Chain A
Amino acid sequence: MSRIGVFICHCGENIGKTVDCPRVAESARKLPGVVYAVDYRYTCSEPGQAQIRDAIKEHKLTGVVVGACSPRMHEKTFRKTCAAAGLNPYLCEIANLREQCSWVHTDREQATRKAIDIVRSIVARVQRNTPLAPIRVPLTRRALVIGGGIAGIQAALDIADGGTEVILVERTPSLGGHMAQLSETFPTLDCSQCILTPRMVEAASHPNIRLETYSEVEKLGGYVGNFEVTIRRKARSIDPKKCTGCGTCWQKCPVKKLPSEFDEGLGLRAAIGIPFPQAVPNKPVIDRANCIKFKNGKCGACQKLCQTGAVDFTQEDEIITEKVGAIVVATGFQVLPKDQLPAYADGDHPDVLTGLQFERLASASGPTGGEIRRPSDGKEPQTVVFVQCAGSRDREKGRAYCSKICCMYTAKHAMLYRHKVHGGRAIVLCMDVRTPGKGYDEFYRRAIEQDGVIYLRSRAARIYRDNGQLVVQAADTLNGGERLDIKADLVVLGSAAIPQPDVRTLAQKLGVGYDADGWLSEAHPKLRPVETNTAGIFLAGACQGPKDIPDTVAQASAAAAKTLALFAAKELQRDPIIARVNRCAPPVFSTCIGCFTCAAACPYKAIEREEIRDRKGGLIKVVARVNESLCQGCGTCVSLCRSKSMDLDGFTEEEVFAALEALVE
């Protein structure tokens, strides 16, 4: 005869206000098999848990029912409590009296009666529970980091410093990401490249980091601790072992007038080359779409001139597969292209720049060597208008969110402009200025108070060309909304941060969630900000939402800590809630008839074939078998099995039916 203990939690007023908890406990005491029942204000508190532990010992309980909140909240807590008192944790079940009862009802009498029913049902179930043991899963101590911007570099370095091997995949030819493009960084105005490039070199030379640049993740299989990732190494058309990075090829390449991606179209590049002088690795790539050799077979100048014979036009993409135990996704963001804003000079004016374009203009390594000269005619602009919220906070255009970084980078832009063009006028159009962060508001005030930047509280209605002159339509909303049409020599947009255009494809490959805007979803916005809902996959940086460099680096280190914590275990454990094919005595062996309907339906490819043979090795029958490490316990196979040969540990037919029957009594 079973000896069940029932513990009814008031959850403060959450349950206690609507459900008469003492009455529920009292009625539980009368149920067959129940030897102990009690109610308590907070069962999850230490004294509450002690109550359970003591009762298990004192009353020699064989099962525990906790009537409390959802099992999603505290099932783990109470199972641990039971284990501490020597009871198999899978003999503890939760009766959900909060989400499924007190929170959704107002009538105290009816709610109490329902609570009594729920408890009776779970008591009936727990009497049929069997002890289970967690499944042990081996672990590959090796991490994959996707994305080689500052987030990916930081995460990779931290994991590698923790003594773990890292594969760092970057889809462009070089590490660096957007941070390599920036001029100076707020709020300290230190040079972006000066602080970034040493870290790029460090990542490339770290003994625990293997770089895979110009490569992309094609496919992901497996599960936490045991992922199998397929990576496509795109053909560089260069043998990196032979190449010395001397630069002859890109100096001699006859195709020189291609818009440079690194310079955001403000500078030019050849059809072969490295994206920027400090690129890591310092090995060129041939842009096959624009290379004459690939277009019509002629040229080949780079190959002829290469002293080491590193140019290889026949190179092909290479597919490799790697085993990793954890993944950090650090794929970053993009800046809203200006052609998405047709109200602003039809979206194609050379002197209307995105925020990132202005970074290149202000950068010492940029196309003008850091001088502020406008793209159309190379003149120094005397009035520059900075237009904030260019694409952000525009619900009507489907982008309601704040891009977070623009207020600060615009203050920086205006400040840099005033430093470089002393007599120039810098006017910032903004709705409000958002500068939470250490030293941030002081920085923005400095732009106004020391550097003479003018802030005008207005959104720009439209920017138009008036015979070559750019005019920005604005209004002074702090002065009654008086209209101001400002003649500008250059316009810089506080361009919205947007998700990578193909992020949804990647998210689906990895099996992680994303929100309506396309930002990758964290498991919990406050308490699990770097984890995804897929175990073993973590997030770092702006792929999760717009973020500045300090926040990005902090999150990257957090993701690295999560990865290292996962790897600190000897092996992984998981809940033994898995399907099982029954076995019985010969000559039947199993009621399974080997139809494999289950195998076709299993979403996790966890069903295998098992051949039952006699002693001489002769085949008796073929039955299904469940791979314990692949099965996720969804139960699809159980419901489909025609011969009723499958069952789900922890949710057996017997347990579930017992619970249901108790309800209809």
Chain B
Amino acid sequence: MSGLGYYPGCSLSGSASEYDRSLRAVAGQLGVELREIPEWVCCGATSAHAIDHNAALCLAADTLAKARRAGLTEVLAPCAMCYQRLAVVAHELKQNPGIATALDEAPGLENIKPLSVLAWLNNGVSDALQAKVTRSLTGLKVACYYGCLLVRPPKITGIQQVEAPRQMEQLVTLLGGQPVRWSMATECCGASFALSQKSTVLRQGRQIYDAARKVGADVFCLACPMCHANLDMRQGEMGIPAEAQLPVIYLTQLIGWAMGLDATTLGLDKHFVPTAGAFAKEKS
């Protein structure tokens, strides 16, 4: 196994570095070589498609073009936002050949396939993953939080059970954890307003927190750096006392931990809400 395209995106190169570190560590354990796309550019995120249609298309298409030049056919985009933008533009490239032309690219860019972290873990490597589990997460109640962009819209992501996805739950179960059933798994956290419209992120964040708390979750598990920033950094601002705060853990951190990797390698020390308590429980 070798040569999976890797598109870390801006967040994983910055504030979400623990997602990047834990993902690389897990890939290493699974024997998957991640090949970072040379000279990748920002996907444009919400801002680009909000105000400039063409910029949104060209940014993501340029990264796909760079992946193709590097001989890659599949690109793992761990950030939910990056994944969704690449997937939307790959879809758009099928209908609109003008985009490739504008970039002086030969047709066929749409054949570069963006992979979400869920698709990668569930379809490609779940058997290898199971074999590597050395530390069971027995007893850990996990609220699997998909947010919006990991699964929606189904025409782009190809996920059929968009209202009640179970891919993350399957992985958590495989690690010995106990996924809870809760109501906010695919509700938006409002992260694109983190800087510009704080009322939204605090309200949505609080609702998400309350829903997880009510069903007795010990931790959140997620795969989106914006959701993470929102939920991990702002629980205090949401009015949740420190002792009631829930750790917010990346799926790859959870997997890495189950594989026996240590907290520092996985960047578990970088969180605002301390994570140690959650993992202590699992030993008892």
| Count of CB-CB pairs between chains A and B under 8 Å | 20
> Is A346 on the interface with B (CB-CB < 8 A)?
yes
**B181 CB within 8 Å of chain A:** yes
Is A343 in contact with B183, judged by CB distance below 8 angstroms? no
> Is B53 on the interface with A (CB-CB < 8 A)?
no
Kindly identify which residue among A462, A466, A467 contacts B163, using a CB–CB cutoff of 8 Å.
A462
Residue of A whose beta carbon sits closest to that of B211:
A466
- Is A467's CB under 8 angstroms from B164's CB? no
Across the interface, which residues of B come within 8 angstroms of A464, CB to CB? 183-184
Are B183 and A466 in contact, CB atoms less than 8 angstroms apart? yes
Cα A343 to Cα B183 with chains together (Å): 11
Inter-chain contact A465/B164, CB cutoff 8 Å: no
A465–B163 contact, CB under 8 A? no
Q: What are the residues of chain A within 8 A of B184 when measuring CB–CB?
A: 464
Please measure, in the bound complex, the distance between the C-alpha atom of A357 and the C-alpha atom of B102, giving whole angstroms.
58
State the CA gap A467–B211 with chains docked (Å): 7
State which of A347, A467, A471 has its C-beta within 8 Å of the C-beta of B215.
A467
Chain B residue, CB-CB nearest to A466? B183
Contact: B161 with A467, CB < 8 Å? no
Q: Is A309 located at the chain interface by the 8 A CB criterion?
A: no
Q: Which residue of B lies closest to A343 (CB)?
A: B163
Measured CA separation A471–B207 after assembly (Å): 14
* Complex-state Cα separation, A347 to B181, whole angstroms: 13
Answer whether residue A222 sits at the interface, using C-beta atoms and an 8 A cutoff.
Answer: no
Cβ–Cβ contact A465 & B181, under 8 A: yes
For the complex formed, measure the closest distance between the CB of A483 and the CB atoms of chain B, giving whole angstroms. 13
Residue of A nearest to B213 (CB): A467
Query: How far, in whole Å, are A462 and B184 apart by their CA atoms in the complex?
Result: 11
Q: Closest residue of chain A to B216, judged by CB?
A: A467
Interface SS of B by simple majority: loop
The residue from B164, B183, B211 contacting A347, defined by CB atoms under 8 A apart: B164
Interface size class of B (residues with CB under 8 A): under 10
Knowing A465-B181, A466-B183, say if A342 contacts B214 (CB, 8 Å): no
Q: A326-364, CB under 8 A of B: which get 1 and which 0?
A: 000000000000000011001100000000000000000
Q: List residues of chain B with CB within 8 A of the CB of A343.
A: 163
B157 CB to closest chain A CB, in angstroms?
Answer: 15
Q: Which residues of B contact A467 (CB under 8 A)?
A: 211, 214-215
Within 8 A of A (CB), among B207-253: 211, 214-215
Query: In the bound complex, what is the Cα–Cα distance between A343 and B165 (angstroms)?
Result: 11
A347 to B162, alpha carbons, bound, how many Å? 13
Q: How far is the CA of A464 from the CA of B164 in the complex (A)?
A: 11
A9 to chain B, nearest CB (A): 50
Considering only CB atoms, which chain B residue lies closest to A465 in the complex? B183
Complex alpha-carbon distance, A465 and B214, angstroms: 11
Contacting B at CB under 8 A, from A516-541, are none
- CA A342 to CA B184, docked complex, whole Å: 14
| Complex interface: chain A residues within 8 A of B215 (CB) | 467
**Binary contact readout B191-219 vs A (1 if CB under 8 angstroms, 0 otherwise):** 00000000000000000000100110000
Taken together as a complex, chains A and B put the C-alpha atoms of A342 and B154 apart, in Å, by 14
Most chain-A Cβ atoms within 10 A of its Cβ — which of B161, B183, B215? B183
* Chain A positions 469 through 485: 1 when the CB is less than 8 Å from some CB of chain B, otherwise 0: 00100000000000000
Please indicate the chain B residues that have their CB under 8 angstroms from the CB of A466 in the complex.
183, 211, 214
Tell me the A438-492 residues at the B interface (CB within 8 Å): 462, 464-467, 471
Which residue of chain A has the shortest Cβ distance to B154 in the bound complex? A396
Q: Which of A346, A462, A471 has the most CB of B within 10 A?
A: A346
**Docked complex Cα distance between A347 and B161 (Å):** 11
Instruction: Write 20 A-B pairs (CB below 8 A) sorted by A numbering.
Output: A342-B161, A342-B163, A342-B164, A343-B163, A346-B163, A346-B164, A346-B181, A347-B164, A462-B163, A464-B183, A464-B184, A465-B181, A465-B183, A466-B183, A466-B211, A466-B214, A467-B211, A467-B214, A467-B215, A471-B183
Interface residues of B (CB under 8 A from A): 161, 163-164, 181, 183-184, 211, 214-215
The 10 nearest A-B residue pairs measured at CB: A464-B183, A467-B214, A343-B163, A342-B163, A342-B164, A346-B164, A466-B183, A465-B183, A342-B161, A467-B215
Q: Contacts A465-B181, A467-B215 given; 10 further ones with Cβ under 8 A? A: A342-B163, A343-B163, A346-B163, A347-B164, A464-B183, A464-B184, A465-B183, A466-B211, A467-B211, A471-B183
